[in-house]
Amino acid sequence: MSVDTLKEKLAHIEADTLRDFILDIYLCYPELSDKIEALTLVNDPAALSKVLRKRIASLKRGRRFIEYRASFDFARELEVVPSDIESVLLGRSPEHAFDLVDRFLATAESVLNRVDDSGGAVGEVYRHAVLLWLTAAKGCRDANVDWLERIYKLDQQDDYGVLDLLLPNANLLLTSDQLKQLAWFPGGKNDSEEKMVTPLGIHRTCLSSPYCSGGSAPDEEPTGKSGNYGACGQGARHRGAEPADCSAGSGVRYD
């Protein structure tokens, strides 16, 4: 049965029948209980946020080591958190959604410290949560938040490389001018050869390049893949670039 056909048939089922069916699922399949509980709070963002904050806090407090074979099931359980944030909260309350996904990303180090993530499933959950972070941030647009500072600090916390979709997709949140400021962040412009690579690894002479994070156009689609940086001749990171793509390449690397 196709999804469209299923939707059509579900629309004709009485509410009491659907309620009883969901209750049966809730009682028989504990792994779905969190999603069902989140669904019941769909019209109360504050209450749902409170529930999700507790789930996120429990992730950070966890101490049990998760072996390789169990890591895939754990990743599926982990993915429920950003999934609930996106499907239930994002459209109704971007502010709550951003707060929660920000807290979720902050658990990356403690979670990955206790997981054999050789298969990469757990890290992938966090990588995709980065795009949700950017989308939620754009939705709330708190005037009191310095988004350049927030992005820079978040990038610096990425010890496991699970946030590597942040810079290539910063254009989801920042304007072209802000992206150029980000490339120079946190210091001012310095034309000395030693300072030609920014703290974020973006080559300062290549900001106009379509391959460079600093040259991305606003509202460009997410890259959707992690680690798609090439290295220019200066050792800078460019999205999808090969060494020849950087006109400033001289073969000198600044690592």
Contact, 136 vs 104, CB < 8 A? Answer: no
In sign, the C-alpha dihedral spanning 128, 86, 148, 153 is negative
DSSP state of 87: I
**To 10 degrees, the CA torsion angle through 10, 12, 17, 18?**
30
Question: pLDDT value at position 222?
Answer: 56
Closest CA to 89 of 125, 143, 127, 41: 41
How far, rounded to the nearest angstrom, does the alpha carbon of residue 68 sit from its chain's CA centroid? Answer: 23
In 25-171, beta strands by DSSP E = none
| Cβ atoms < 10 Å from Cβ of 33 | 12
Question: pLDDT value at position 69?
Answer: 95
Distance between CA atoms of residues 205 and 214, nearest Å: 10
**To 10 degrees, the CA torsion angle through 71, 125, 214, 177?**
-150
Helices 45-61 and 68-84 pack at an angle, to 10 degrees, of: 160
Contacts 24+ apart (CB under 8 A), 66-71: 66/114, 66/115, 66/116, 67/116, 68/116, 68/118, 68/119, 71/115, 71/116, 71/117, 71/118, 71/119, 71/121, 71/122
Counted residue by residue, the chain has a size of 255
Question: pLDDT value at position 234?
Answer: 35
pLDDT per position in the chain (255 positions), as tens? Answer: 888 899 889 999 999 998 999 999 999 988 788 888 888 888 888 888 998 999 999 988 888 999 999 999 999 999 999 999 998 889 888 999 999 999 999 999 999 999 999 999 999 999 999 999 999 999 886 768 888 888 988 888 888 888 989 988 999 998 888 888 887 765 433 333 333 334 444 444 443 344 444 444 444 455 544 333 333 433 334 334 443 344 333 333 333
Distance between CA atoms of residues 206 and 196, nearest Å: 10
pTM attached to this predicted model = 0.67
Please state the domain extents for the chain: 16-166
Residues 6+ apart with CB under 8 A from 223: 165, 168, 169, 239, 240
